[in-house]
Structure 1
Amino acid sequence: MNMGVTTIRNYSRSVREEAEERAKVLSLPYVPREGTLEDMAERFHMDGFLIYGKKQPSFWTEGEEYRFHLGTAVLRTTQLERGNKDRLCRLLPEERPLSVLDATFGQGGDSTVISWFLGKEGAVTSLEKSIALYEIGRAGLSSFDGGSERMTEALRSIRLLHEDFRSFLQKAEPKSFDVIYFDTMFRAPVKREVNRMEGFRRAASYDRLDEEILKLALHIARKRIIVKERPFSPLFQNSLFSSVHSHKGQSTAYGVIDL
């Protein structure tokens, strides 16, 4: 994707300077804001823009915009507070402290819930290949108001890296994380017409899991690998999986590899 960095229409000097600085850090071209984003995209041959302003930066592409938000993380942590189980968190090993690698940060919902759930007894490192989603996530984790002290602490404690999970696993130290979690983007999204996340989907990476990646993860994980996929995914037929957790009527399932 050919991407640039720009500002909101009515920007201050500090906003412009932030946009220029982040453009340098991300090795992206800075494009001064002039007119509509559609006109700028055509004029400068851009597919999308990271937009900086007074609030959280956003990503724009083809009329769709995405910015950091907590999404269902609030609902999930509320249920946990009430004593209910979370489908993902219940699969985490009981031993504490626990280090978790979320290999596919995306919108950050799972990383946030895991970080909230583990609290001071855990450490969450997340990877994001997409430069747009990394930058949106970086800004969100560092400054977004979680609405409660515990949620804000959960956001601040996540370590987000702009990394591709394949190359990261190839160079990671053996047995350096207790748990490795994968939730790759579905090419055929669940409830696409309801979710309305086209801006996010266009920015996302669609790297797929395969046996090679799972075997790399086996060398890095100490206790468990968890994979979120469709219940009918051929990946779950691999003999590496110890169990697959799915329920009737649910569109996703979790595969577990115990070490």
Structure 2
Amino acid sequence: MIITTGDRPLTEVAARAERLAERLGVPYAPRGNQSITKLFSRYEGEILVVLLEGTRLLRPGRPQLQFHPSMGFVRAKRVLKGEGDPMLEAAGMAPGDSVLDCTAGLGSDALLFAVRGGERSRVTALESSLPLYALLAEGMASYASGIGEVDAALRRINVVHSDHRSYLASLPGDSVDIVYFDPMFREPLEDSAAISPLRAYANSDSLAPGSVHEAVRVARKAVVLKEKRGSGEFSRLGFAEQLRPGAKTSYGVIRIDDRS
């Protein structure tokens, strides 16, 4: 992977891109008059393009992936209006709660947790794919939604490049209020311009029982799993499915107070 910018970047954007490359230990390629095609011919792997307000991830033969909170932005606006959200309700999240999002993706769910949690909450989002981590970390730091509360929530999220199993194992017991999993569905429910390109980069491994065991050890309030409605993953991993009328997805919950 390399880091570059768009055409004729502002000095501050080029500086951000160079700092990101240094932090990740990957090459920084000043754009100059080079086309993306030319950059692909000179470097192997993905190209992360740092923009004034966001990031874009490119790979030969794949659709581009641009950072955008997608439906997370729509849901965040509803939460700011005082409306409910099924994920937050399943998690039993209260303002100030800490959350570990083990499968960050494009950060839509982490954004919801940060909005509901407010300034006193601590939301950590894990991403094991380095290209996705770079897209997410830089995107959350620079994306401008036009709503101050949403942008502030994005900036509060601590994005960490790590697989969830090793990160969970490093934490002391009862150290996070809520642990959340949203693994990539084996078969997509529907095509989505925001989600479909994500499949080229995201970790497609199924969730392991050992990860759930570690999550239960770490969580103080609940461990939550998002899956297809009626998925056998809920029973396989020990979650109580919370059915929602008419919904294609469900949330499974392990309440820590219910542990035997």
The answer as to 2:117 corresponding to 1:118 is: yes
Q: Is the 8 A contact 2:102 2:164 kept in 1?
A: yes
Match of 1:207 in 2: 205
Deviations along 1:84-106, whole A, 9 cap, x unmatched?
Answer: 32110112336663111111111
The letter for the 2-side match of 1:24 is: E
C-alpha distance 37-119 of structure 1, shift in aligned 2 (>3 A): same
Which string of whole-angstrom CA distances, capped at 9 and with x for unpartnered residues, describes residues 128-172 of structure 1? 112222222222322322322322221122111111101101111
Residue 45 (structure 1) shift: 5.4
Query: 1:181 aligns to what?
Result: 180
Which ranges of structure 2 fall in alignment gaps of 5 or more residues?
none
Equivalent residues, number: 254
Q: How many Å separate the matches in 2 of 1:132 and 1:48?
A: 7
Displacement after TM superposition at 1:28 (Å) = 1.6
Amino acid at match of 2:231: S
Q: State TM-score, norm by structure 1.
A: 0.86
Q: Which residue pairs with 2:57 in the alignment? A: 59
1:244 to 241, 244, 248: 241
Give the TM-score, by structure 2 length.
Answer: 0.86
Say whether the 8 Å CA contact 1:129–1:205 is kept in structure 2: yes
What pairs up with 1:87-102 in 2 under 5 angstroms?
87-93=86-92, 97-102=96-101
Aligned ranges 1:93-242 → 2 under 5 Å: 93=92, 97-192=96-191, 194-195=192-193, 197-238=195-236, 240-241=238-239
Which has the higher mean CA deviation after the structures are superposed, 208-217 or 112-121?
112-121
The answer for the alignment partner of 1:37 in structure 2 is 36
What's the Cα RMSD here? 2.4
Is the Cα–Cα contact under 8 Å of residues 173 and 219 in structure 2 kept in the other structure? Answer: yes
What corresponds to 1:22 in structure 2? Answer: 20
* Separation in 1, partners of 2:43, 2:206: 29
- Give the direction of change, closer, same or farther, for the CA distance of 1:57–1:110 in structure 2 (3 Å limit): same
Name the CA shift for 1:80/1:10 in 2 (closer, same or farther; >3 Å): closer
Which runs of 5 or more structure 1 residues have no equivalent in the other structure? none
